[in-house]
Amino acid sequence: MVQASYVILNEVDEETSLEQIGNLIGDIRLQADLTQQELAQKLGVGVSTVHKYETNGQKIPLHTLAKIAHLCQVDLIVGFQTKP
């Protein structure tokens, strides 16, 4: 079953945005019932890299974000919302 997971970024603030995306990655990984080690193996990276993606310790390349969404069987949507 394909689920939609998303995060709306209220401000274009790189640090906050990365944190929100990292939290989303952790959430969809858990929904897919994968450990960080299992996801790392599927991505061909180290467990520490997945941990850094989830905790804002490392920027995640767009192609890797798309691969994580595919592996976790979700549509991953990152949108921007302007302040009213």
Query: Using one digit for the tens of pLDDT, what is the confidence trace for 34-71?
Result: 999 999 999 999 999 999 999 988 888 888 988 998 99
Residue 9 has pLDDT above 70, yes or no: no
Residue 12 has pLDDT above 70, yes or no: no
Selection from 55, 37, 54 nearest residue 46 by Cα: 37
* Residue predicted with more confidence, 2 or 31: 31
Number of neighbours of residue 67 by Cβ within 10 angstroms: 15
**Please, are residues 9 and 79 in contact by the beta-carbon 8 Å criterion?**
yes
Selection from 20, 22, 64, 26 nearest residue 45 by Cα: 64
* Residue predicted with more confidence, 62 or 32: 32
In the chain, what are the domain boundaries? 3-80
Q: Considering the chain, what is the average pLDDT of its residues?
A: 80
3-state SS, residue 44: coil
Fold (topology level) of 3-80: 434 Repressor (Amino-terminal Domain) (1.10.260)
